[in-house]
Amino acid sequence: MKIKQHTIQKSVTISGVGLHTGVHANMTFLPAKPNHGIKFQRIDLEGEPIVDADVDNVVDLSRGTTIEQSGARINTVEHTLAALVGLEIDNILIQLDGPEPPIMDGSSAQFVEALESAGLEEQNALRNFFDVSEGIFYREPDRNVEIAALPLDDYRVTVMVDYNSPVLGSQHASLNNIGQFKEEISSCRTFCFLHELEMLYKNNLIRGGDLNNAIVVVDRKVEDHELDHLASLFNKPKVEVKKEGILNNVDLRYKNEPARHKLLDLMGDLALAGRPVKAQILAARPGHAANVAFAKKIKKAMQRSGAENIPHYDPKLPPVLDITKITSMLPHRYPFQLVDKIIHLDDKYVAGVKNVTINEPFFQGHFPGKPVMPGVLQIEAMAQTGGILVLNTVEDPSEYLTYFLSIDNCKFRQQVVPGDTILIKCELLHPIKRGIAKMKGVAYVGNSVVSEATLSAQIRKKNS
């Protein structure tokens, strides 16, 4: 799995009709900054409203997953989201001039192809994984649906489907390595049963279906007049049934293509939980309603695991800036170099790490019998972290210095002692103007705030 966040290098557009609305739309993928997440935008509506890919925005599950926000609706998002999950793309803006992404061939393959043609770009921020620490379970006993997420330091998905059909029977599909998504899962197409087609059509669905972008499973004997009726519905000169029970001479790409597509749908729907997940996902007879209900349980578990605004820190992962790079940017040296790592850096906020040990020189004179890190040095560490954020805005940071202008609303809420690891987050409150930056700094140990302040600083060239 990728460690750092990714976006795409340039914009790319694909076009086609939506499966259920039948409306032609252009869909453009655009690069986005770290921590932007996945967002859709309806550029055909007044104000061009944004719709976050968030499970709380799900409003309809009629044969697909539909999200809505600020009066803007996006239908059938799961295939697009699955492509993003499979390529491990974290930050992207998806502009649509219609209500639904193009169905293309009913899979995610053409989305993957378009995104890869745009190129992937690694970003200066670590991915905010949600590590499942204990099992999360969802059941629908009446439909025999079960989904579970079990602890695993990786991302794996296994799906079982059983439609009590002589054509499909029981099928299994697994994705054991996210890097195999493109080759093993992305090209698997959506499907339905023959007896569902007319019902779907009468309910104003599958208006963009043309029998070439879906697998239609025939699980009963079909009379010629029924095939003629279907041909008229979908503007086809003729509709045929192959001997294995697949409509209109469509060849399966895999014997278990329906199960693989259900796995694809599950990946796309679970993306709505909002963060990449490390877990073993096991699903029996999943569908969009169950997938979304399970995504809501995962999101609740994320919220319970800790405050969302605390920087995520995994000491096993490489930093965005190590001590060598920090030293090249900041003029501070021992004993006043108080930042060990930078784990996130973009144009709005920075997150740094300070490991507090008994070897700190200030412990010799600051309560040596009961060592406590001085609050003023916590603020100094905060200022140095914020300095990285400000210096990141200039072309050659080594030629600049940052100076304090003011410290406001400073509070010390908890003692910091040897053995603590301080996570420091500094976020710009306003855009930098005339070299002056104002930012909110908060320092955490675990899930507790230990100190906070509003800092103002000025950036100047060394020789000015």
Q: What is the CATH number of the domain that holds 445?
A: 3.10.129.10
- Between helix 257-270 and helix 78-87 the angle, nearest 10°, is 80
Residue 310 included in any domain: no
Q: Are residues 68 and 129 in the same domain?
A: yes
Q: Are residues 264 and 332 in the same domain?
A: no
Residue 341 included in any domain: yes
C-alpha 385/C-alpha 101 separation (Å) is 42
Residue 316 included in any domain: no
Q: Are residues 49 and 33 in the same domain?
A: yes
The model's pLDDT over 408-463, given as tens digits with 9 standing for 90+, comes to 999 999 999 999 999 999 999 998 988 899 999 999 998 889 999 999 999 998 88
Write the Ramachandran bin of 370: left for phi over 0, alpha for psi from -120 to 50, otherwise beta: beta
- What does R_g of the chain's alpha carbons equal in angstroms? 27
Number of domains forming the structure of the chain: 3
Q: Are residues 151 and 293 in the same domain?
A: yes
Domain, as residue range, for 366: 323-461
Q: Are residues 30 and 85 in the same domain?
A: yes
Active site residue 36: no
Q: Are residues 161 and 275 in the same domain?
A: yes
Residue 154 included in any domain: yes
pTM: 0.78
Q: Among residues 288, 312, 344, 430, which one is catalytic?
A: 288
Q: Are residues 199 and 295 in the same domain?
A: no
Residue 312 included in any domain: no
Query: Where does the pLDDT of residue 140 fall: very low under 50, low under 70, confident under 90, or very high at 90 and above?
Result: very high
- Structural contact between residues 91 and 5, judged by C-beta atoms closer than 8 angstroms: yes
Q: Are residues 148 and 277 in the same domain?
A: yes
Q: Are residues 24 and 66 in the same domain?
A: yes
| Range with the poorest average pLDDT among 9-18, 48-57, 213-222 | 213-222
Q: Are residues 282 and 397 in the same domain?
A: no
Q: Are residues 125 and 40 in the same domain?
A: yes
Q: Among residues 24, 36, 229, 366, which one is catalytic?
A: 366
> Mind giving me the DSSP string for 153-194?
SSEEEEEEEE---TTT-EEEEEE--GGGHHHHTTTPPPEEEH
Residue 214 included in any domain: yes
Q: Are residues 169 and 246 in the same domain?
A: no
- Structural contact between residues 268 and 82, judged by C-beta atoms closer than 8 angstroms: yes
- Between helix 109-118 and helix 78-87 the angle, nearest 10°, is 50
Residue 317 included in any domain: no
CATH number reported for the structural domain that contains residue 70 in this entry: 3.30.230.20
The model's pLDDT over 320-351, given as tens digits with 9 standing for 90+, comes to 999 999 999 999 999 999 999 999 998 889 99
**Percent of all residues in the chain with a pLDDT value above 70, rounded to a whole number:** 88
Active site residue 24: no
Residue 376 included in any domain: yes
Query: Where does the pLDDT of residue 63 fall: very low under 50, low under 70, confident under 90, or very high at 90 and above?
Result: confident
